[in-house]
Amino acid sequence: MGDLSLIILAAGQGKRMKSEDSKVIHRVCGKEMINHVLDAAVKAGCVNATVVVGHRREQVIRAVGEKAAIAVQEEQLGTGHAVMQAAAELERGENVLILSGDTPLITAETLQSAIVKHIEGNYGATVITARVPDPTGYGRIVRSGGEVEKIVEQKDATDEEKLIDEVNSGMYCFNSALLKNALSKITADNAQGEYYLTDVFEILKNEGVRIGAFEAKNYHEILGVNDRVQLSEAEKLMRARINRGHMLGGVTLIDPDSTYIGPDVEIGMDTVIYPGTILEGRTTVADNVIIGQNCRLVNASIARGVDIWTSTIIDSSVDEGAHVGPYAYIRPGSAVGKDCKVGDFVELKKATIGDGTKISHLTYIGDADVGAGCNFGCGTVVVNYDGKNKYRTVIGDHAFIGCNSNLVSPVTINDGAYVAAGSTITDDVPSDTLAIARARQVIKENWKDRRDDG
Ligand code: UD1
Ligand code: CA
């Protein structure tokens, strides 16, 4: 299977989505449909890949990144025409897998089984099919004597053909050379005036080529997304599949119907996730973590034994045993050390926090390196921005920052230093000293009487 090529069709506009964007960049469980398909095919063993782009191509190219070569279909003249634009891919391997960018639920396992059937059965073309409760809109698999005869599109089907509930998934394996030859023979002589890829089946059949069909066990896997109702159905099915996998892997989801976990998220055993939580991107969560209600984690890395309540963590890490929230906002580039506390209404940005440091409430720390064992009083602000530039602040180990202090960056608070409550610190504070940077308190005697007397 080493030389299996891959072509994914993604040039269409997807009119039924009613969207300014390319259909295939719409997301299912946080990941673009095109990337669901591409990742499944790569996992199934495809080595080379070409994505055929057209409508809003820049969006599709950005989503795919370095993972595939690009072929452009200037005018969307049909799926057969689209494959022809990727003719170079047909030269690369003996067999080619052809997929659509709008079937996000397909799994690597099903693709692999279909590929194995195609190769071991020595077929020239193999179509992945499924029996569906409502075949409306799909191409129908017309068989005679059990063998695939042809594929008929909904709009070209006779009333009798419309009753067939075995449909074309839009996913196929072909012998590349046979496909290339058959594509040169298709015409646009059909209800939609398009060059249908599906027409190659009848052509190949008539040429005596062996045609295979691989029926997917679960029709959910082949569901195509053409509109936003189907998008939400795909989302729901994918969510159930992902969540089931985590639960079987030892994660407690208190309410899986309201827990939103992306396909590339990893979660350890005995972690408990409360409702309303969203885990996105490359988030990794270790064992024995509690993620409370309504959290959002994006590309976060959470170590063992952490608990997080109603908080947002983006592109940041939290080390073992730390407590986060409720209502903490940890922005990109932050790293929270072991056993820290990042409490309510604390915002971190590009901040590293040493082990055991407590930032319990109402504090902003941006662009700063904070040591271990520090304590921040309520209402500390690292004043990192002067309106033009941002500066870094350094705080040593075991520093004590009193309530309602401003640390005007760039500034260094050395190990063991104390900052008196209400200070605005603009100069470095040496180790083990106390800095008081506020006006001394003044008492006006008999103030009330003097005021009342005018
Ligand atoms: C297609 C199949 C149908 C199958 C269904 C499965 C054909 C003719 N029909 O129908 O048999 O049951 O998929 O979901 O192939 N595309 C291009 N260029 C084009 C046209 C389409 O790249 O000129 C791409 C689209 O972006 C999409 C894919 O091909 O990703 C399928 O196109 P779509 O219009 O959704 O085809 P269906 O009508 O769903
Ligand atoms: Ca489709």
Distance 101 CA to ligand 2 centre (A): 8
Angle at 190 between CA 187 and CA 194, to 5 degrees: 60
What is the greatest pairwise CA distance in the chain?
113
Nearest CA to ligand 1 atom 8: 196
CA gap 142, 360 in Å, rounded: 67
Helix (H), strand (E) at residue 171: strand 166-175
Q: Where are the alpha helices (DSSP H) in 167-225?
A: 176-183, 199-206
175, 178, 81, 115: CA torsion to nearest 10: -20
Mean pLDDT, all residues of the chain: 97
Q: Is the CB of 197 under 6 A from ligand 1?
A: yes
* Residue 275: cis peptide before it, omega within 30 degrees of 0: no
Q: pLDDT grade, residue 13 (50/70/90)? A: confident
Give the per-residue pLDDT at 454: 76
Please report the atom of ligand 1 found closest to the CA of residue 55: 26
The predicted model scores a pTM of: 0.92
CA gap 355, 335 in Å, rounded: 10
Q: What is the pLDDT of residues 269-279, one digit of tens each?
A: 999 999 999 99
The ligand that comes nearest to the alpha carbon of residue 153 is 1
Distance 153 CA to ligand 1 centre (A): 10
Residue 158: phi, psi to the nearest 5? -75, 165
Q: What is the pLDDT of residues 49-86, one digit of tens each?
A: 999 999 999 999 999 999 999 999 999 999 999 999 99
228-435 matches 4-222 in CATH topology: no
pLDDT at 295 over 80: yes
Cα–Cα distances (Å) from 204 to 77, 100, 126, 407, 414, in that order, read 21, 21, 11, 75, 78
Please report the atom of ligand 1 found closest to the CA of residue 22: 26
The DSSP bridge pattern shows strands 266-267 and 211-215 to be unpaired
Percent of the chain with pLDDT over 90: 97
> For ligand 2, a single-atom ion, which residues have Cβ within 5 Å?
102, 224, 226
To test ligand 1's pocket by mutation, which of 7, 79, 200 has the most ligand atoms within 8 angstroms of CB?
A: 79
pLDDT at 394 over 70: yes
Q: Give the active site residues.
A: 361
Please report the atom of ligand 1 found closest to the CA of residue 82: 18
pLDDT at 1 over 80: no
pLDDT at 2 over 60: no
Q: Where are the alpha helices (DSSP H) in 144-280?
A: 159-162, 176-183, 199-206, 228-248
Q: What is the DSSP string of 252-315?
A: EES-GGG-EE-TT-EE-TT-EE-TT-EEETT-EE-TT-EE-TT-EEES-EE-TT-EE-S-EEES
CA gap 385, 404 in Å, rounded: 18
Residue bearing the bigger pLDDT, 13 or 424: 424
What's domain 228-435's architecture? 3 Solenoid (2.160)
CA gap 411, 112 in Å, rounded: 59
Give the per-residue pLDDT at 55: 95
To test ligand 1's pocket by mutation, which of 100, 102, 151, 195 has the most ligand atoms within 8 angstroms of CB?
A: 100
Q: What is the DSSP string of 341-375?
A: EEEEEEEEEEEEE-TT-EEEEEEEEEEEEE-TT-E
- Contact (Cβ atoms closer than 8 angstroms) between residue 30 and residue 239: no
Residue keyed to tokens 């004597």: 145
Give the per-residue pLDDT at 324: 98
Mean pLDDT, to the nearest integer, of 243-255?
98
Give the per-residue pLDDT at 3: 77
Residue keyed to tokens 């309530």: 403
Spell out the domain ranges in the chain. Answer: 4-222, 228-435
Q: What is the pLDDT of residues 109-158, one digit of tens each?
A: 999 999 999 999 999 999 999 999 999 999 999 999 999 999 999 999 99
The reply to whether CATH 3.40.50.300 applies to domain 4-222 is no
pLDDT at 348 over 90: yes
Please report the atom of ligand 1 found closest to the CA of residue 77: 23
Q: What is the pLDDT of residues 26-56, one digit of tens each?
A: 999 999 999 999 999 999 999 889 999 999 9
